[in-house]
């Protein structure tokens, strides 16, 4: 699977401008790279996050679906549409959508861990389920930004079978080292590919450094700090090789693990 990761810049609260820019970047990536899958960052429609969500959040994801479902079908490409700020019946959510080549919604996920130091947990309601889906016959999962600091979440999906994890993010430049370390760790410990698509939002000093990482923790592609598109090709036979030579799933001792302590 060939994947293009779009490290997008966006304007805080400028939904119309951001939608137009996101579509333009997807079209450019498909024309230039001919990928199977295109990925966008976290909350690209609003940036992270405007004070007035009421005026710019996507109601029930309707606009995102109206733009990117037909675009995926037109371009014959999977689009992991990062996440968008959405307004649902019971409040605001940080919601990710994945569209397959037919334009169908293959996966939908509400971010489960709000970044409390910035007050995200007060602006957005938390999701309560994991997200696994299929793209081109491969088992995929999706988490969002701060979720990567909670290894139990990723391992839960990995135990159900996972080849590829997408991580859209709005991660600040000052903690880039943390992001890179956590992304490589999640790929290595779960023996899977990981696609990190961070924002390059200048409005909120996001740090970029998006990456496509193989199950050995090696970079297949890596971005700098500015707006950019990176592309890498995933050879899924690598997963079979690593899991047969170092079978961490077979060697687990779940009877010793306790993750329910408060």
Tell me how far apart the alpha carbons of residues 245 and 137 are, in angstroms, rounded to a whole number.
24
Q: Is 111 a catalytic residue?
A: yes
Q: Residue 250: CB partners within 8 Å, gap ≥ 6?
A: none
DSSP state of 126: P
Active-site residue identified among 81, 108, 111, 120: 111
- Across 9-49, the runs of DSSP E, i.e. the strands, are 37-39
Alpha-carbon Rg for the chain, nearest whole angstrom, is 17
Residue environment code for 214-236, b if the CB has 16+ CB neighbours within 10 A, otherwise e: bbeeeebbbbeeebbbbbbebee
Tell me how far apart the alpha carbons of residues 97 and 111 are, in angstroms, rounded to a whole number.
11
Tell me how far apart the alpha carbons of residues 177 and 196 are, in angstroms, rounded to a whole number.
13
Active-site residue identified among 56, 131, 140, 145: 145
Q: Which strand (E) or helix (H) includes residue 62? A: helix 62-75
Q: Is 81 a catalytic residue?
A: no
Cα–Cα distances (Å) from 204 to 46, 114, 200, in that order, read 11, 17, 9
Q: Is 122 a catalytic residue?
A: no
Active-site residue identified among 42, 120, 180, 227: 42
By annotation, the residues acting in catalysis are: 42, 111, 145
């Amino acid at each position: 699977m060939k994947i293009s990761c779009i490290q997008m810049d966006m304007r805080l609260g400028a939904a119309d401008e951001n939608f137009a820019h996101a579509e333009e970047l997807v079209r450019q990536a498909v024309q230039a790279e001919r990928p199977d899958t295109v990925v966008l960052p976290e909350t690209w429609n609003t940036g992270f996050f405007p004070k007035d969500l009421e005026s710019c959040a996507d109601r029930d994801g309707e606009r995102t679906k109206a733009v990117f479902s037909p675009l995926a079908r037109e371009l014959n490409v999977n689009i992991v549409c990062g996440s968008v700020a959405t307004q649902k019946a019971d409040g605001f959510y940080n919601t990710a959508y994945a569209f397959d080549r037919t334009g169908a919604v293959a996966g939908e996920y509400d971010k489960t861990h709000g970044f409390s130091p910035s007050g995200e947990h007060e602006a957005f309601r938390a999701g309560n389920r994991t997200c696994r889906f299929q793209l081109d016959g491969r088992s995929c999962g999706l988490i969002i930004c701060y979720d990567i600091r909670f290894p139990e979440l990723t391992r839960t999906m990995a135990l159900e079978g996972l080849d590829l994890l997408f991580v859209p993010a709005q991660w600040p430049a000052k903690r880039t080292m943390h992001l890179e370390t956590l992304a490589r760790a999640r790929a290595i410990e779960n023996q899977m590919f990981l696609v990190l698509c961070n924002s390059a939002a200048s409005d909120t000093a996001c740090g970029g450094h998006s990456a496509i990482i193989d199950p050995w923790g090696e970079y297949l592609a890596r971005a700098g700090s500015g707006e950019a598109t990176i592309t890498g090709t995933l050879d899924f036979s690598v997963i079979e090789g690593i899991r047969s030579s170092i079978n961490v799933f077979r060697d687990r001792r779940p009877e010793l693990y306790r993750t329910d302590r408060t």
